[in-house]
């Protein structure tokens, strides 16, 4: 099933110069980018994005961190895109993430794990809506698609 997912490259990924590598991994998998935005997240948007963590001990630190520098917000489209990105990211704690995953290969600590990806199609819709307007999401055909999909 073709679906869309939201991917956020966090401030540590941006500062460490990992944007190109992570985008390249997603493209290499065969996912199609349909929106990208380089921005600094306002506090109100960060709190809305991480609302399920409100009240937890790490919430204020998370908000401070995610608003501390620029991030790359993206929407990717592909077959089972949510699950594909989650698998590619690896476990939340990089120490537990498998080699070959983004976090397993590129990260050291949970608090600096480089990337956020939607955990369900419903979350993806909500997160995409938080960060992108309809006109920012592009519908386009790739000539390579017949070589990726039967």
Task: With CA atoms as reference, report the closest residue to 128 among 5, 19, 2.
Answer: 5
Please report whether residue 26 resides in a domain. yes
Please report whether residue 21 resides in a domain. yes
Please report whether residue 138 resides in a domain. no
Please report whether residue 147 resides in a domain. no
Tally the domains of the chain.
1
Say which of 116, 118, 127, 132 is annotated catalytic. Answer: 116
- Residue 126 is predicted with a pLDDT of 97
- Residue 150 is predicted with a pLDDT of 86
Give residues with Cβ within 8 angstroms of 128, minimum separation 6: 4, 6, 35, 75, 137
Question: Per-residue confidence of the chain (150 residues) as pLDDT tens digits?
Answer: 899 999 999 999 999 999 999 999 999 999 999 999 999 999 999 999 999 999 999 999 999 999 999 999 999 999 999 999 999 999 999 999 999 999 999 999 999 999 999 999 999 999 999 999 999 999 999 999 999 988
| Reported pTM | 0.95
CATH of the domain at 115: 3.30.70.141
Is 53 designated active site? no
- Residue 37 is predicted with a pLDDT of 98
């Amino acid at each position: 099933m073709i679906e869309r997912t939201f991917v956020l490259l966090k401030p540590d990924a941006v500062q460490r110069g990992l944007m190109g590598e992570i985008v390249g991994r997603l493209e290499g998998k065969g996912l199609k980018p349909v929106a990208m935005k380089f921005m600094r997240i306002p506090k109100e948007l960060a709190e809305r994005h991480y609302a399920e963590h409100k009240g937890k001990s790490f919430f204020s630190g998370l908000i401070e961190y995610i608003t501390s520098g620029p991030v790359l917000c993206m929407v990717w489209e592909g077959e089972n895109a949510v699950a594909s990105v989650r698998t590619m990211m690896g476990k939340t704690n990089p120490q537990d993430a498998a080699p070959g995953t983004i976090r397993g290969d590129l990260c050291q600590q949970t608090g600096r794990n480089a990337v956020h990806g939607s955990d369900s199609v419903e979350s993806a819709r909500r997160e995409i809506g938080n960060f992108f307007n309809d006109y920012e999401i592009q519908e386009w055909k790739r000539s390579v698609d017949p070589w990726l999909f039967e």
